A and B are shown apart, each in its own frame.
Chain A
Amino acid sequence: MLAKRIVPCLDVREGKVVKGVQFRNHEIVGDIVPLAARYAEEGADELVFYDITASAHDRVIDKSWVSRVAEQIDIPFCVAGGIKTIEQAREKLAFGADKISINSPALTDPSLISRLQDEFGRQCIVIGIDSYYDEATDSYKVKQFTGDEAATKDTQWYTQDWVEEVQKRGCGEIVLNVMNQDGVRGGYDIKQLSMIRAICDVPLIASGGAGTMEHFKDVFELAKVDAALAASVFHKGIIDIGELKQYLHANHIAIRL
């Protein structure tokens, strides 16, 4: 049986792992490679590295650490941040990344998704979506350039429409990050994730809001996502990945122990 995946996300800024609250006030958590190795050892199923400054500042991540991660860890990992061209994607993959994740550049130029798919196959093309609940219209909408508060802007996309669009254009996986709850650790947005799950035929990764082990159980059981991504609960030692996986296994969720 396919296991549900636990995915620590390491937000990277200037070569260090950082974590902010509501995408702001980033503090340094630690060095990339030792943290990655520790998570792999503890049982993480996959890792995501996201350079939160790259898109907003029109800069591409320093790639040397991608190779160092690939040399040392034996689980899959995805690299995100400022990948706008086929060549930039090829470079990350050649250095050993298993997948590349595109967020803001796909909103600027949606044809990038199909071009990447043609070149590398959809299995390594992940689309990251920063979705927020807009009270005024009682709807979910997509934001762009969330790595930098000053650059962040609203888009014309309703989240459901963008999810449909990126699948049509050939992405292999979607990470849905719900901004309202990020860092607050109040639980994943089950309602929104369930709604997106119903229209998502590719693997769906929930992101934003994890605070307790029960939150992970709920998002797998209720929203039926394929993977759950979290950062601060792992970085701060609030949840131990090994204990989390034992807990989920005891609750009859398919987990790789």
Chain B
Amino acid sequence: MTLQSVSSSNDLTVIIDTGCANLSSVRFAFERLNANVVVSADFDVIRSAARVVLPGVGTAGAAMDALKQKNLIELIKSLTQPVMGVCLGMQMLASLSNEHGGRSEQDITCLGLVPTDIGDLDSKGLPLPHMGWNQIDVGDHPLFSGIENGSYVYFVHSYRAPISEYTLASSTYGESFSAAIGKDNFFGVQFHPEKSAKVGAQILQNFLNMGIPQ
């Protein structure tokens, strides 16, 4: 996409190009909703967006490394438009993650935009990862407008944000945990709305209804 076409579009959703694997799934889901969406790591394109998506799968350490390499950390922190993290993207909004193994033996410093810490999901003996369709209870955040308590969405994860004052939706698998967290214009969902059939599409549409066209 050229800069010219970006500047002529007035309601742009930008998916930050973190180089992670589920980028196209998220883009396809917005395209099914006829959204004007681009994948980009360009500072100007991201700043020009009406709203921004931070995707992510893989490990917290690798994902934060990718943001560092692309010099995106300060940029993301400076954004004032709605920013939605998806799955690992949600976890990256937190203060830190204790996801060890793979590349790191130490806690991973995350973006610190939602003051909560990511830790192990205590499934109380249930199989891990927590994989499949689970029910959510939602708060009154506009992201969940029209979504009923008990709706099923698709989860795949082994780490979680605990229940806190920043919880926007919750789910239970062994323990109760945050299915969504948020603070100010930054929020995120632990599940995959792009893979959650009609319920997920409604949540993405709610996101598209946020943010002022630039």
A: residues with CB less than 8 A from B are 1-3, 5, 40, 45-46, 67, 70-72, 74-76, 90, 93-96, 98, 117-124, 172-173, 200-204, 226-227, 256
Contact = CB atoms under 8 A, between A and B. Distances in A.
Contacts of A119: 58
Contact of A94 (B24, B128, B194): B24
Interface string B16-31: 0000011111001101
A173 B194 contact: no
B154 interface: yes
Contact of A120 (B58, B135, B152, B157): B58
7 contacts: A1-B172, A94-B23, A95-B24, A123-B131, A173-B131, A226-B132, A227-B132
B201 A74 contact: yes
A124 B128 contact: no
Nearest to B134: A2
B205 interface: no
Interface residues of B, number: 39
Interface string B45-62: 000000000000111000
Contacts of B28: 70-71, 96
A5 B133 contact: yes
Interface SS, B side? mixed
Contacts of B134: 1-3
Contacts, number: 104
Instruction: Pick the most buried of B24, B31, B102: most chain A CB atoms within 10 A of its CB.
Output: B24
B129 A75 contact: no
B32 interface: yes
A121 to B, nearest CB: 5
B120 to A, nearest CB: 14
A124 B21 CA distance: 10
A121 B195 CA distance: 18
Contacts of B128: 201-202
A96 B21 CA distance: 8
Given A76-B192, A95-B24, A123-B158, A3 B197 contact: no
Instruction: Pick the most buried of B102, B130, B156, B192: most chain A CB atoms within 10 A of its CB.
Output: B156
Given A40-B197, A76-B192, 8 more contacts: A3-B133, A5-B133, A45-B133, A67-B24, A94-B21, A121-B59, A201-B128, A227-B132
B196 interface: yes
A45 B21 contact: no
Given A1-B134, A1-B135, A121-B58, A172 B197 contact: no
9 closest residue pairs by CB, A with B: A93-B21, A256-B152, A3-B133, A256-B133, A123-B156, A76-B195, A96-B24, A2-B134, A71-B28
A74 B32 CA distance: 9
B60 to A, nearest CB: 10
Contact of B132 (A2, A67, A122): A2
B166 interface: no
Nearest to A202: B127
B195 A122 contact: no
B127 A203 contact: yes
